[in-house]
């Protein structure tokens, strides 16, 4: 039996989604192969031991979190074969915790230090994608103290934290008069903010998985959003039944999108898994939006849905990730 520590929570703005993802993994992990334990990281950064039957869920739009009063645990007390850090955003998906695991020789699920760090910074990731011939949206970066201006991008445009996730702090801006407030809100989540031209097109995503030593890609899926939402924001993703995933997506260039997803995965030096998001335009252009190195694993998440349609179940995905992590540690 392989002992697996599932780690959730964290200090990022995606703390709650991480908790929900962890509950999904615990419910689906193959307990004939793996003996799971649950470790939480509180919003203050304390590591705590949690009962394995802890169930995090959204109730009446209230989001769960790791309790601060749970029993504290030290890193050297974690005696397992492999860790599964289901952590989203800064301090979990940005290479920091991956570096910690590298230092203590602990096998872990998912991407390594460099890929995690680069993918977390959408600005740096875009530069690498562009160098590898993957089309990106026009845009630029603002840092605190910079003049807030659209620099001729035109409207509508998107404002987003460069190192954020789950669309927290992201705004679709239609008028110049609204730009400053959107940028200032994005600065609450990061010291580096991206402005990107809004791409009119369909939102298409692919799930990439490393299984049996091979990088594989799911069928593309199209994200359909209730018209009451301006874009695929936090509420549309998690707090409202406003999103439908159509998979396989009804598009002409499915193969090309899958190839672009794998190229993006390889270009950043990814391993284990990633979800790659694209815009597919009316004139058949494929424009990458971003790559997520630890996509959501909630029951509503796109990653397991796309693999389900592609013939790989939730439990099989989890097993493949753990087995890949262990094989790379040998």
Provide the phi-psi class of 185: left if phi over 0, else alpha when psi is between -120 and 50, else beta: alpha
Q: Give the pTM.
A: 0.92
Q: Where are the domains of the chain?
A: 2-108, 119-135+200-328, 139-197
pLDDT (0 to 100) of residue 243: 80
* CATH architecture assignment, domain 2-108: 3-Layer(aba) Sandwich (3.40)
DSSP-based three-state secondary structure for 127: helix
Which CA distances in Å does 189 have to 89, 165, 271?
Answer: 10, 10, 27
Closest to 293 (Cα-Cα) out of 83, 38, 81, 121? 121
Provide the phi-psi class of 146: left if phi over 0, else alpha when psi is between -120 and 50, else beta: beta
The pair of three-digit structure tokens given for residue 103, joined into one six-digit string: 């230092």
pLDDT (0 to 100) of residue 62: 79
| Burial status of residue 63 (CB atoms within 10 A of its CB: 0-12, 13-18, 19 or more) | middle
Q: What is the DSSP string of 186-244?
A: HTTT-SEEEEEE---SEEEEEEEEEETTEEEEPPPEEEEE-TTSSSS-HIIIIISS-EE
Contact 98, 111 (CB under 8 A): yes
- How many residues comprise the chain? 330
pLDDT (0 to 100) of residue 235: 57
* CATH architecture assignment, domain 139-197: 2-Layer Sandwich (3.30)
pLDDT (0 to 100) of residue 157: 97
pLDDT (0 to 100) of residue 86: 96
Give the tens place of pLDDT for each residue, 90-127.
899 999 999 999 999 999 999 999 999 999 999 999 99
Q: What is the DSSP string of 270-329?
A: --SEEEEEEEE-TT--EEEEEEESS---STT-HHHHHHHHTT--HHHHHHHHHHHHHHHT
Give the pairing type, strands 2-9 and 82-85.
Answer: parallel
- Which stretches of the chain drop beneath a pLDDT of 50? none
Contact 267, 134 (CB under 8 A): yes
* CATH architecture assignment, domain 119-135+200-328: 2-Layer Sandwich (3.30)
pLDDT (0 to 100) of residue 202: 95
Closest to 287 (Cα-Cα) out of 296, 277, 295, 297? 277
The C-alpha angle with vertex 204 and arms to 7 and 258, in degrees rounded to 5, equals 85
Residue with tokens 């991480």: 18
pLDDT (0 to 100) of residue 234: 56
Find residue 37's DSSP bridge partners: 5
């Amino acid at each position: 039996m392989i002992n697996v520590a599932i780690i959730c929570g964290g200090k990022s703005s995606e703390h709650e989604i991480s908790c929900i993802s962890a509950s999904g993994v615990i419910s689906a992990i193959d307990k004939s192969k793996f003996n799971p334990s649950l470790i939480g990281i509180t919003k203050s950064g304390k590591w705590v031991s949690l009962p394995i039957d802890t169930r995090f869920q959204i109730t009446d739009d209230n989001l769960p979190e790791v309790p601060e009063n749970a029993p504290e645990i030290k890193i050297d007390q974690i005696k397992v074969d492999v860790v599964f850090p289901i952590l989203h955003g800064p301090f979990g998906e940005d290479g920091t915790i991956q570096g910690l695991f590298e230092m203590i020789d602990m096998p872990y699920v998912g991407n390594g230090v460099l890929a995690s760090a680069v993918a977390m910074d959408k600005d740096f990731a875009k530069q690498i994608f562009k160098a590898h011939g993957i089309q990106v949206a026009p845009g630029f970066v603002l840092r605190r103290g910079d003049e807030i201006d659209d620099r001729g991008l035109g409207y509508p445009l998107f404002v987003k934290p460069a190192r954020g996730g789950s669309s927290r702090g992201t705004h679709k801006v239609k008028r110049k008069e609204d730009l400053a407030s959107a940028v200032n809100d994005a600065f609450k989540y990061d010291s580096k903010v991206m402005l990107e031209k809004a791409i009119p097109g369909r939102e298409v995503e692919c799930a990439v998985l490393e299984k049996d030593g091979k990088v594989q890609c799911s069928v593309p899926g199209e994200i359909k959003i209730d018209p009451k939402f301006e874009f695929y924001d936090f509420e549309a993703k998690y707090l409202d039944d406003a999103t439908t995933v159509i998979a396989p997506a009804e598009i002409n260039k499915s193969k090309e999108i899958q190839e672009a997803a794998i190229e993006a995965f390889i270009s950043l030096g990814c391993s284990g898994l990633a979800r790659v998001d694209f815009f597919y335009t009316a004139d058949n252009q494929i424009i990458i939006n971003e790559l997520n190195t630890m996509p959501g694993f909630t029951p509503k998440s796109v990653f397991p849905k796309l693999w389900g349609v592609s013939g790989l179940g939730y439990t099989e995905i989890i097993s493949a990730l753990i087995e890949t992590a262990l094989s790379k540690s040998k």
